[in-house]
């Protein structure tokens, strides 16, 4: 099985100068009942004094947490549920497509759901602009697992059921890649479990999952290439240059510049050096910026096809990784797939 988040993982929460009371809440996954605090030996005065001092927060009737608990965890718990889907997946530290909504799951028989920022007021229809609620959580899982977020596997199953092809594959790639580098994530056995619970329409996506991509943007780029009929191999290794983002021809490579890392002079110098190493071995590097990928895909596609055509005409020997694949006809979206994609693109961006 993939590497699991350890018991010390609390969504990035760190404690400094903690008291025995705050340490107890931290040790119990950030949320603890008043009755449980009593059983641990704390008095009503201990609890009320800690609340007055701001060292703990009351989030629902009889429930307490720490002030630096992630706001999305507090909001989901206050509603009466747990983070799931994209919200839970992001809380584990994975590269996650952006979403404007809080994704929360509650038990099928849940009652008295509260507003995410007001524990005294019932959930209102207007709150659906901020959060998406599914009634699928199991009480047994809530009692035995983390009280404020679903597991990585459950989060991925939720994503496959409710998000589109690209977002789902991005998340699966991200979790696979993390495990490959010894971090919490999933492996091939976990994929079996996940797709056994996934809907029928998502089953074909498994063949497109590839955990070699180092970032979500690389997965999106790879899937765009697939749809355009352009073969794309993630993370090819070139001696002297290291691992590149992708290979699209025998001598042709792609580098994808993200929004942050490639903006600094130091990073630019590293990129230029790596490109020079590839070119010195009779290779070519196509480097595309985040903005170009987002707004000028037609131009990128034309540039890649032209480079691939020139590459195959060259027909020269190479020390690069073998690359026998040639472009094929672009993927033709079915009408239903286009309609689904349009609806999902309206909900969140994968950029």
Q: Which of 149-158, 254-263, 266-275 has the highest mean pLDDT?
A: 149-158
83-141 pLDDT, tens digit each: 999 999 999 999 999 998 999 999 988 888 999 999 889 998 888 889 999 999 987 77
Q: What is the pLDDT, as a whole number, of residue 258?
A: 74
Domain range list for the chain: 23-71, 73-205, 230-314
130-155 pLDDT, tens digit each: 999 999 998 777 777 788 999 999 99
What is the chain's mean pLDDT, rounded?
A: 88
Q: What is the pLDDT, as a whole number, of residue 90?
A: 96
Inter-residue contact 24 to 37 (CB < 8 Å): yes
48-59 pLDDT, tens digit each: 999 999 999 999
Residue 11 clears pLDDT 70, i.e. is over it: no
Question: Residue 136 is inside which H or E element, if any?
Answer: strand 131-137
Q: What is the pLDDT, as a whole number, of residue 50?
A: 94
Q: Which runs of consecutive H residues, i.e. helices, occur in the chain?
A: 20-27, 34-39, 44-53, 71-79, 85-91, 139-144, 152-162, 165-180, 188-196, 216-227, 265-280, 290-295, 297-314, 335-347
Q: What percent of the chain has pLDDT over 90?
A: 66
Instruction: Please tell me the distance from the alpha carbon of residue 142 to that of residue 148, in angstroms, as a whole number.
Output: 8
CATH topology assigned to domain 230-314: Endonuclease; Chain A (3.40.960)
Residue 5 clears pLDDT 70, i.e. is over it: no
167-204 pLDDT, tens digit each: 999 999 999 999 999 999 999 999 999 999 999 999 99
């Amino acid at each position: 099985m993939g590497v699991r988040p350890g018991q010390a993982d609390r969504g990035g929460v760190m404690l400094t100068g903690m008291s025995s009371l705050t340490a107890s809440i931290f040790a119990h996954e950030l949320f603890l009942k008043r009755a449980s605090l009593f059983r641990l030996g704390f008095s009503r005065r201990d609890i009320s004094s800690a609340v007055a001092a701001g060292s703990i927060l009351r989030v629902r009737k009889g429930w307490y947490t720490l002030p630096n608990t992630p706001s999305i965890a507090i909001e989901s718990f206050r509603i009466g549920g747990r983070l799931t889907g994209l919200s839970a997946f992001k809380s584990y530290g994975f590269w996650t497509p952006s979403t404007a909504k809080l994704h929360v799951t509650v038990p099928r028989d849940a009652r008295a759901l509260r507003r995410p920022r007001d524990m005294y007021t019932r959930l209102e229809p207007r709150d659906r602009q901020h959060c998406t609620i599914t009634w699928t959580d199991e009480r047994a899982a809530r009692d035995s697992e983390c009280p404020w977020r679903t597991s990585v596997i459950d989060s991925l199953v939720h994503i496959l059921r409710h998000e589109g092809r690209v977002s789902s594959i991005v998340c699966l790639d991200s979790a696979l890649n993390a495990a490959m580098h010894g971090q919490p994530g999933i492996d091939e056995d976990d994929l079996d479990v996940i797709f056994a619970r996934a809907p029928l329409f998502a089953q074909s996506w498994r063949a497109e999952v590839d955990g070699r991509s180092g970032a979500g943007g690389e997965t999106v780029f790879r899937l765009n290439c697939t749809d355009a009929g352009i073969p794309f191999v993630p993370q090819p290794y070139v001696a002297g240059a290291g691992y590149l983002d992708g290979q699209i021809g025998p001598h042709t490579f792609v580098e994808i510049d993200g929004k942050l890392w490639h903006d600094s002079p130091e990073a630019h110098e590293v990129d230029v050096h790596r490109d020079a190493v590839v070119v010195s071995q009779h290779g070519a590097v196509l480097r595309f910026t985040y903005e170009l990928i987002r707004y000028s895909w037609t131009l990128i596609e034309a540039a890649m096809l032209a480079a691939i055509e020139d590459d195959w005409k060259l027909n020269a020997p190479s020390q690069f990784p073998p690359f026998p694949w040639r472009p094929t006809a672009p993927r033709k979206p079915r009408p239903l797939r286009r309609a689904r994609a349009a609806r999902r693109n309206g909900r969140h961006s994968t950029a």
